[in-house]
Structure 1
């Protein structure tokens, strides 16, 4: 790993990595200095080529296309000759890197050639000075979090294209590149802000350029039609102004008289229409005419019938009708009739206004968050409520929620984004919450995963659904977004950490005993009891009325609570039978823990007479302190060493009581590996530098399961989640070489995925697991 942004560290890393070649520090410093200088020269050359292309466009009066794409799209085998196709249509091709440094409205002085009406930039005034404009740099009101260098260049290029005449943008996008679900929407909005045309071409292994050529020809035709319309409008305006200026003096009096006569005639007609309408209204009232929609029924009996019908049909509720009205006002779903514009209504300006969650909202607003893990988030709900907030976690995600997500989210975004946003928007559309007194909450990782942009995706969905007034709270440790009315105080963080740790313990105990329970449903009933107790202790500082009735203790400090949970599950009557086949579940965090996202994979495992093993959520939440040394050594981004050391010490203080409590069960419940051990295990197969998404932790969890006697693993991942494909499925080969007994299967979850196919693959894996388990038992018996 080499961090190109850190020049000094680059020298150290080169000396370290090329020690086998005896590279000296002096040689490395000379090479690095020359390389960075050449890099600047290269960037300058690219920008000069962009200016030359713009100058060519100006001198030859032709159009230009900024062909934007990822670095690999420059390969002719990948782009399938699209640049040559554009040139064959008589248009100039530029890259986004060649113009991204240019500012909209900047006077470029491209060539000696002057267009019609253009002033000579070298012309001097009476005092002998030339006028030079200041370089203005403006910040775009982007909806998304601008977290990637390539994305930043792409947005800047789109902003310049939108303001430069004769220049259009075509974006190349590869199938399955989920990050471009973020960029394509944002680039489209930037261009739509200036009524510019946006074209996206999906590039994959198919080499047929027919569809791409048709799109490009259509783009050229649209540009030419737009230019013709502009010229026609300008000519019409010029003609009208000339004719009116010639006849203004002679026709002024006549025109005024004509307007006066027309006004008198219109007044007479309006009075006649008013009298006619009054007569018809009176006649209709006498004859029992139709009642105006929304008004009261004519009799109390009919009003009762009307109310009953309205309540029975949720589609006719006030909230849905208000949503339709707001959506119409915001231009969502509008037809192009009655002279409305056919331009894309999703503009950058439309989403620019952010409504922060203010301090005044804390008292009256209900904060609504999506479901991610029922066991953990039930406790998190109590944590937020203990801070004085009105806070609700949505319990379930339905198929209807997913359909809503597909409607309001770019369908190339990941499955978790579609489900989470659909769940939140549906809660508003269905009238569960007052949109004028509701805020939505989402966690923001701040990492390399597209989950950092869920905040922007939710804001877009709210505006498109007709609820721009709803604030969105982004909860992150980095404080990326400003939420004045929501503060994560130390007390709140303390309770949140305890809630997640206890959630891990409850999940471990429940999944361990439920397949062996003597009385069906007794394990779930015990879990529900402890869920209630823990929620009460969180909200009432350790006190619980339910605990007093259940175990005779009304006050349960943290350590005591953990011990009582373990003792209670340990005492649950279980069948006297051998340990069943264990099946682990790892993967993307939401699909891993959310039953509605993974089609209840834990229930499927238990229905096949197996035991499910799911690693805890705290490991995912606390990876950063344990990889800070690696980040510092290889990337120079280790952060505050003392701060991370204190975090590691603090986490041990939270986790040690859990380990002591688990020991009370004498081996019934397994201990989790410490995080430093997981880091070490991940390093055996992959690199700790793989930190996008679940990253190296996913590989470490698979290894932990296999080495703890659970070689059967389901890797649940959203379709097209590239980080999980790399650290999950991409590591299967090496893991199997290290552990031949490993029985791993990856299951893709997606709005269009076949549940029957998922179920069949899981059953096939479990069948192989049972066969291997029987063979191992027979070998042991022999």
Structure 2
């Protein structure tokens, strides 16, 4: 028996160098500058940066807000009024705002920059030229508040564009304040700050955004099927006023939404009309605005006979939560804590775990509050996107770490719309030249349409002009969507042995199915298909069997939940052991100090009770006695 002997010398493993490369490079640069006699010169100072207003000015300053849908901006105005601010929501940006944006903005900017910047300048010019206010008076009495940008694109610099345009338009020193979406509650706080971004401020903001989402979603569900043109818009205007009054007066927004539900429920509808459901995705501002910024896309689609499925602001908030969760999980495995935007530096030993728990709780709380608002407002059977599911669907085609626009969400939403028959057609809208969203829609999505046959996907760009070409391209794909919807409904009728007249007669005998707020269970890509399947099920299945099926479905749901719980027991036990060990370490490290502090407080309290001394005196005596 032979034994192989290796004569190769053993491999040497070099120790890993723990170097701070950034610090080394900075030190080298500093030494070279000193050796060459180079001095740091400040080339430019932005005088309009970091301007704010004080609490003493709050009584005379009006906050200007805008940038979302008309309902959202209107509700934000009411909610912040209750917090104690004087607020005015700007009108939706129009082509006149685009003209101001191009006149005073930098060249080569994208649509959101031109429209939002121009809309503010247009309002200020109106105050100066039409209302007779001086520029100094406008600067002293108005402040524009907006959210910070998140994109690695030109729109990410739009606050700088505001300052440049305001300076060139004659409003040097006008205050533009922003709160970053990752900045938390610590921004603009302090005794002297007039804009206090505290929990009360953000809770009011969340109420306004959720109420706006619910009313918008209900309106887009009802309007395509209304029997009387304009009935939905009248009901929405009345509902918006009710919710606005509740937000501004501090009364129950849930009660206001319930009153709105009763008003919207009175609109007469006919859901036997075959209309393709068009899901709008794309760049956030372009798919959210309701004016000339996207050629009034939502109303155009409805005018062409489609039902519009909009993306809610709540979904954007959930995406932000998912984004931080994803980055936290990836960074938790690093050898050291980094100081990036989502870094874990300074969070402590258990910072990553605490952050993940907080984000999980925030996600669940936001979903719970939204569904509470949705039930009160009549938005039945609405499903917020599962961000992990969207990310998993997109990951093979588009890396989740690539950010900008809506990142992987566009890819994931298109795939899920096709696979789960959520929409007949998916329309991606973005500004002309939008770098993040444009690369997704024009590049990756072409592969998706090949791998998922039957996908009806239309990518369009907005530039402020060229509406004819925009509409023409959308109409071309809408023709395909209408044909697909009609074929789907015809197949559903044939499969269930129904026809159009028989379906209408069945619905006439059951007014509940024809109610404005009724939502049929999901069965196909358009609303008429869902209604056909529901009617066929109710017609062919007796009441006792339907009740039995509900009980069986509930029992299977409970069993599935219990099964998940049993299968998760080993993992839960492992986590519990680790948690107990960590708690033991914490108690071992911090226990003595905590015990001493507790004993000191007990001594102080005993002396206070015994001798009638104040707390500070008792503490000093206890310290001396200790």
Which TM bucket (shorter chain)?
0.5 to 0.7
CA distance in 2, matches of 1:531, 1:658: 17
The residue aligned with 1:313 is: none
The answer for the alignment partner of 2:463 in structure 1 is 750
1:369 aligns with 2:82: no
How far the C-alpha of 1:717 sits from its partner, in A, is 0.4
CA distance in 2, matches of 1:747, 1:601: 11
State the partner residue of 1:569. Answer: 264
CA distance in 2, matches of 1:737, 1:137: 55
Does 2:251 align with 1:539? no
- Out of 468, 476, 479, the position equivalent to 1:764 is 476
Q: Is 1:381–1:393's contact at 8 Å kept on the other side of the alignment?
A: yes
Per the TM alignment, residue 622 of structure 1 is displaced from its structure 2 partner at its CA by 3.1
Which residue does 1:530 correspond to in 2?
A: 239
Structure 2 residue aligned with 1:496: 205
- How many angstroms apart in 1 are the aligned matches of 2:213 and 2:12? 49
Measured at CA, do residues 32 and 481 of structure 1 come closer, stay the same or move farther in structure 2, by a change above 3 Å? same
Q: Which of 254, 278, 300 is the aligned partner of 1:583?
A: 278
Cα distance between partner residues in 1 of 2:198 and 2:247: 15
Answer with 1 or 2: which has the greater Rg: 1
Q: State whether structure 2 residue 408 is matched by structure 1 residue 696.
A: yes
**Could you tell me how far apart the structure 1 residues matched to 2:310 and 2:12 are?**
47
User: Which consecutive unaligned segments of at least 5 residues does structure 2 have?
Assistant: 1-9, 333-341, 345-351, 496-626
Q: CA deviation at 1:396?
A: 2.6
Counterparts of 1:704-715 in structure 2, within 5 Å, are 704-706=416-418, 707-715=420-428
Aligned counterpart, 2:311:
615
Residue 166 of structure 2 aligns to a residue whose secondary structure is helix
Q: Map 1:317-466 to 2 at 5 A.
A: 348-349=44-45, 351=47, 355-431=51-127, 434-446=138-150, 448-466=152-170
Shift of 1:375: 2.1
What is the CA–CA distance in structure 1 between the aligned matches of 2:449 and 2:476, rounded to whole Å?
Answer: 18
Output the CA distance in 2 between the equivalents of 1:627 and 1:452: 17
The one-character-per-residue Cα deviations of 1:315-357 (angstroms, maximum 9, x if unpaired) are xxxxxxxxxxxxxxxxxxxxxxxxxxxxxxxxx3474675322
User: 1:700: how far off?
Assistant: 3.1
Which whole-Å CA distance do the structure 2 matches of 1:684 and 1:619 have between them?
Answer: 22
Call closer, same or farther: CA 1:703–1:672 in 2, change over 3 Å.
Answer: farther
TM-score by length of 1: 0.53
How many residues align structurally? 454
Q: Is the 8 A contact 2:325 2:359 kept in 1?
A: no
Task: Give the Cα–Cα distance (whole angstroms) in 2 for the partners of residues 643 and 747 of structure 1.
Answer: 39
TM-score, normalized by length of structure 2? 0.65
User: Could you tell me whether the CA contact under 8 Å between 2:217 and 2:379 is conserved in 1?
Assistant: no
Cα gap change, 1:638/1:578 in structure 2, threshold over 3 Å: closer, same or farther?
farther
Residue 215 of structure 2 corresponds to 506
Task: Spell out the pairing of 1:31-42 with structure 2 (5 A cutoff).
Answer: none
Closer/same/farther in 2, CA of residues 363 and 677 from structure 1, 3 Å limit: same
Q: Judging changes above 3 Å, is the alpha-carbon distance between structure 1 residues 29 and 385 closer, same or farther for their aligned structure 2 residues?
A: farther
Secondary structure of the residue aligned to 2:395 is helix
- Tell me, in whole angstroms, the C-alpha distance in 2 between the residues paired with 1:726 and 1:107: 45
Superposition CA RMSD, Å: 3.6
Between the aligned partners of 1:531 and 1:589, the Cα distance in structure 2 is: 23
The residue that corresponds to 1:213 in the other structure is: none
SS of alignment partner, residue 764 of structure 1: helix
In structure 2, the partner of 1:605 is 301
The structural deviation recorded for 1:418 is 0.9
Deviation at 1:655, TM superposition (A): 2.7
Q: What's the CA shift for 1:614? A: 0.5
Instruction: Report whether the alignment pairs 1:515 with 2:224.
Output: yes
- Secondary structure of 2:197 counterpart: coil
Is the 8 Å Cα contact of residues 402 and 408 (structure 2) preserved in structure 1? yes
* Distance 1:33-1:357 versus aligned 2 partners, 3 A rule: same
What is the rounded CA distance, in whole Å, between the counterparts of 2:451 and 2:239 in structure 1?
40
Q: Is the 8 A contact 1:509 1:566 kept in 2?
A: no
* Separation in structure 2 between the aligned mates of residue 529 and residue 353 of structure 1, nearest angstrom: 41
Retained in 2: the 8 A contact 1:570–1:665?
no
The reply on whether 1:653 has 2:348 as its aligned counterpart is no
Report the Cα offset of residue 532 of structure 1. Answer: 1.0
How far did residue 671 of structure 1 move? 2.4
- Structure 1 residues 366, 740: closer, same or farther in 2, change over 3 A? same
2:391 to 679, 691, 697: 679
Q: CA shift at 1:661, angstroms? A: 6.6
Q: Deviations over 1:379-421 (max 9, x none)?
A: 1111222221111111132222111111221121221011111
Q: Equivalents in 1 of 2:162, 2:234: separation in Å?
A: 36
2:431 corresponds to: 718
Q: Which residue of 1 aligns with 2:561?
A: none
Contact 1:508–1:669 (CA<8 Å) still a contact in 2? Answer: no
Q: Which has the higher contact order (CA 8 A, sep 6+)?
A: 2
Contact 2:56 2:194 in 1 (8 A): yes
